Amino acid sequence: MQKKRMLTGDRPTGPLHLGHYIGSLQNRVKLQETYEQYVMIADGQALTDHFMHPKEIAKHVVELAKDYLSIGINPAQTTILVQSQIPEIAELTLYYLNLVSVSKLERNPTVKYEIAQKGYTSNIPAGFLCYPVNQAADITLFQAEYVPGGSDQLPMIEQTNAIVKRFNKLYNTHILKECQIILSHMPRLVGIDGKAKASKSLGNAISLSDRPEVIKQKVFQMYTDPKHGKVSDPGCIEGNVVFAYLDAFHPDKETVEALKCHYSKGGLGDVTLKNMLNDHLQCLLAPIREKRETLSTHAIREMLYDGNQRARQLASVTMGMVRDAMGIYQ
């Protein structure tokens, strides 16, 4: 049976970390078995709010691809592509921009939230406001029926499907397919500071490519319970980053429950606990890092070249259908 096609991806703005690992990456390793998976390195989209530093973005393209392969994404099963290398995406984006009103884009809840976060006031870059239309082009160009994501991605899927419906109705066709989200229910991983979710930009995350000593250092920086002064004191589990990571990464739930119980009563020290977490994370990350070290930049660039070629073949088929349906001069 033909596998259903799925599109996912990341903005290449920094190294992937443990938050990505439990949030999406692990899942992709499974999904490539059952879906025809396309993973897009969204360098064009990254430029909508990083246009000041395109060279940084370009550097992270290769690093991101290394992250993918080191966690087990298999380029023989998954097409990995670089958004900027597929000009059909830009072409389709421009056609879609005619089908969406400015006020609709201004009402997109995810974009509104991001605009507030970034402190854009009267200086919202037009490219940033329009990026959901760019995403609609990504998804439909590759005829993806499934898109994994969190609930913050729902407005993007709705926008995509609104464009699909409008296009099909306007041009009296069925060539574009609506897509569905594969909702990820995995809670977000907290940063080592305990303040916010682990994030590249906040520098509070453990990267998949971190050296062993850096991992240990970050584990020992983790926020625990400031009132847990002596080992014998009872400690608090809530807001304790070490337990959040044990919950996420320790394979044995019962052991973690026993540790929580012990810690709450008193008698379990932060150092013991952090050493335990460190051991687990080192075991998890060592093979990923070792795989990463076998990957040359040259080999990655070749792999991306192949992925882009495959992606462009499909892009060209879809654009042919789009132009035919619209009746564009050709």
Residue number, 292 or 323, with CB nearest to a second copy: 323
End-to-end Cα distance, the chain: 35
Query: Nearest to residue 20, comparing CAs of 82, 77, 63, 78?
Result: 63
Residue number, 130 or 268, with CB nearest to a second copy: 130
Distance CA 265, CA 284 (A): 29
Which secondary-structure segment (H or E) carries 129? helix 126-129
Work out how close the CB of 13 gets to a second copy at its nearest, in angstroms, rounded to a whole number: 13
Distance CA 243, CA 33 (A): 32
Work out how close the CB of 209 gets to a second copy at its nearest, in angstroms, rounded to a whole number: 19
Helix (H, G, I), strand (E, B) or coil at 7: strand
Q: Which amino acid is at 215?
A: I
Cβ atoms of 45 and 131 closer than 8 Å = yes
Q: What are phi and psi of 207, to 5 degrees?
A: -75, 155
What six digits make up the tokens of 320? 């042919």
Cβ atoms of 24 and 64 closer than 8 Å = no
Query: Nearest to residue 90, comparing CAs of 148, 35, 135?
Result: 135
Q: Which amino acid is at 75?
A: P
Helix (H, G, I), strand (E, B) or coil at 36: strand
Residue number, 97 or 186, with CB nearest to a second copy: 97
Distance CA 94, CA 99 (A): 9
Residue number, 120 or 223, with CB nearest to a second copy: 120
Applying CB under 8 A, the residues found at the interface with a second copy are 43-44, 47-48, 51-52, 54-55, 57-58, 61-62, 82, 84-85, 87-88, 90-91, 93-95, 97-103, 105, 122-130, 133-134, 170-171, 323, 326-330
Q: What are phi and psi of 24, to 5 degrees?
A: -145, -35
